Amino acid sequence: MERKAEFTKIFDAYYPKVFRLCKGYFNGDEQLALDTSQEVFLKVWENINSFKQDSELGTWIYKIAVNTCLMQIRKDNSRKEKNFTPFFQLLSENYSYEEELKIKKMYDCIQKLDERGKVIILMVLDEVPYPQIAKIIGIKEDALRVNIHRIKKKLTLCVQNGEV
């Protein structure tokens, strides 16, 4: 019962974050993001007892999410490489047409980044703290900051000019 209560808390707090990360990673493919998020939480459920309390919960969940996204390559590469454009109906009603185009461009530009850059920028966009991202990726914080600066610049330029 305690395990279930703990899982429910984790699920409620992190499912939207994991889903958003997966959706960005898979170029807006919601079905693939949904399947992957479910796989992430299946792993969370299976490994919840091995979670070490001394490490941060968010870091632990994001590590599982990033690795699960990477390993979707095992299942169906063609879907991952495909371009999905189902964004228009999914945006907030407050979006203008210009903003809709911009966000679609953001998805396209994120896909143009390398794999590590992709997951880093998705976590930056979700406001995951830098020390946490460094632990998730497994690099030093200084190196990460340099990386993030470069990726932010690339993304901003790409959304403006369509180039990476």
Partner 1 sequence: MEKFDELKNLWNRQSLGLIPTQADEFLVKIESHIKQMRTGQQKTLFTLIILLVILISYSLWVLHTGTSRYTLGLGLMIGAIMVRVTFEGLSIFKFNSVKPDLAMIEFREKITKFYFWKNRVNRIFIPILYGIYLLGFTFLVPVFKDTLSSGMFLYVILSGYGFLFLFTFVVRKKVRKEKMILEFLKRVSET
Q: Considering the rule CB under 8 A, would residue 130 count as an interface residue with partner 1?
A: no
Asked if residue 53 lies in contact with residue 8, where contact means CB atoms within 8 angstroms, the answer is: no
103 sits near partner 1 (criterion: CB under 8 A)? yes
CB of 53 to partner 1, least distance (A): 14
Please report how close the Cβ of residue 123 comes to partner 1 at its closest, in angstroms: 11
Number of H helices, E strands in the chain: 8, 0
Q: How many residues bind partner 1 (CB under 8 A)?
A: 65
Question: CB 107 → partner 1: shortest distance, Å?
Answer: 9
Alpha carbon distance 14, 26 (integer Å) = 18
User: Which residue number, 30 or 130, has a Cβ lying nearer to partner 1?
Assistant: 30
83 touches partner 1 by CB under 8 A: no
Which residues have CB under 8 Å from 76's CB, separation 6+?
none
Sign of CA pseudo-dihedral 112, 100, 24, 126:
positive
Q: Does 70 bind partner 1 (CB under 8 A)?
A: yes
Hunting for tokens 């000019």 — which residue is that? 161
Return the structure tokens found at 33: 């993001």
In this structure, the number of other CB atoms found within 10 A of the CB of residue 119 comes to: 24
The residue among 83 and 90 lying less far from partner 1, judged by its C-beta, is 90
Distances (CA, A) of 139 to 61, 79, 124: 17, 29, 15
Provide the minimum distance between the beta carbon of 81 and partner 1 in the complex, in angstroms, as a whole number. Answer: 10
Chain residues binding partner 1 by CB under 8 A are 4, 7-8, 11-12, 15-16, 19-20, 23, 30-31, 33-34, 37-38, 41-43, 45-47, 50-51, 60, 63-64, 66-68, 70-71, 73-74, 77, 86-87, 90-92, 94-95, 99, 102-103, 106, 114-117, 119, 124-127, 135-139, 152, 155-156, 159-160
